Amino acid sequence: MTAGPPPRVGVVGLGLIGGSLARLLVARGIDVVATDVAPGSRAAARDAGLTVADDVAGAVAGRDLVVLAVPLLAMRAVAAEVARHLDPGATVTDVGSVKGPVRAAVSDAGAGDRYVGAHPMAGTERSGFVSSDAGLLDGVPWAVTVDARTDPARLAAVLGLVTGPLAGTAAVLTDDCHDEVAALVSHVPHVVATQLLNAVAGAPVRDVALGLAAGSFRDGTRVAFTDPARTEAMVTENAAWVAPALRKVARDLEAVVEALEANASVHEFFHAADDVRGTWLPGRRAARTGDVERVPLEGDWPAALVDRCAAGAVVVRLTATHAEVAR
């Protein structure tokens, strides 16, 4: 496998993530054409110095790599439109927080053999191009997903972009592994944060509580201020993994309630994650202190990366001959 020139990238969708991605790629010297269904977003992106097409065809034609950055509920229709305008050989990826349904949408559009899933593990509670920022996605970890049909050359193109111009790391996973992980560290936290906010919003002492709320309530409810429609779509699209994870949360909380009502010990609940507290610091990326392994880009190397990344490793660099994997 040989390294080629930087890809020409098309970004379809200029919200928080699509806009941030386009800004960062342009800042790193990548040829980007973007578009959005909203005229206001297109105008704002042009004002920010981006090259913006008026429609999907203009953002997709002539591109080597096309990024779907639209809401999950719009993904099926947009994927079908994108597939009609792809150049021969163009690769499709995305930035969605759920991977199984996106792969199904792209496959149904006839471009499944061109697709490599991707999800930057970063975001804020804000939305829209006005909130986008090149720094949001600079150096962040990504999940990159594959299946049995994934073309190794297309996977290499996505990994090269993530670990190159975007300066990130990539965990190469199956769709199911990604969606289970996303349920645990993103989707369930959104649901729990929303319930915390709902509990206060419906309390008789609501106004007093909000007046006295400080850091713990702020931190616990931050993502509840995300556009509720966006959160609802994210959770429902990943229902197969979110529902059982939420059921466990509910069982654990019910056990705490019963213990408190019986004046019994809740020590085990508050110490169940002591090993995590000792090894992981919120807000800090995990340090990669182990040896770097070079995985040759030969044979079934995507499967080799999946095996390593499922055990906690990430791809930190891609060359023409190998992937550098670190723990």
Closest CA to 71 of 234, 240, 241: 234
Dist. CA 158–CA 147, nearest whole Å: 14
CB 79 within 8 A of CB 68: yes
pLDDT above 90 for 289: no
Q: Quick one: pLDDT at residue 280?
A: 83
Q: Using one digit for the tens of pLDDT, what is the confidence trace for 111-133?
A: 999 999 999 999 999 999 999 99
Phi, psi angles (nearest 5°) of residue 193 = -60, -40
- Residue 7's pLDDT band (boundaries 50, 70, 90)? very high
CA separation (Å) from 325 to 1, 104, 195, 262? Answer: 18, 29, 39, 50
Q: Quick one: pLDDT at residue 327?
A: 87
pLDDT above 80 for 287: no
pLDDT above 70 for 11: yes
Q: What is the mean pLDDT of the chain?
A: 95
Structure tokens belonging to residue 230: 């966006």
Q: Using one digit for the tens of pLDDT, what is the confidence trace for 15-32?
A: 999 999 999 999 999 999
Q: Using one digit for the tens of pLDDT, what is the confidence trace for 79-103?
A: 999 999 999 999 999 999 999 999 9
What one-character-per-residue DSSP string does 204-268 give? Answer: TTHHHHHHH--HHHHHHHGGGGS-HHHHHHHHHHTHHHHHHHHHHHHHHHHHHHHHHHTT---HH
- Residue 38's pLDDT band (boundaries 50, 70, 90)? very high
Domains with residue ranges and CATH for the chain = 9-173+286-326 (3.40.50.720), 179-279 (1.10.3660.10)
Host H or E run for residue 295: strand 293-296
- For the chain, give the percent of residues with pLDDT over 90: 94
Q: Quick one: pLDDT at residue 290?
A: 66
- Residue 305: CB atoms within 10 Å: 25
| End-to-end CA separation in angstroms for the chain | 25
> pTM of the entire structure?
0.94
Host H or E run for residue 26: helix 16-27
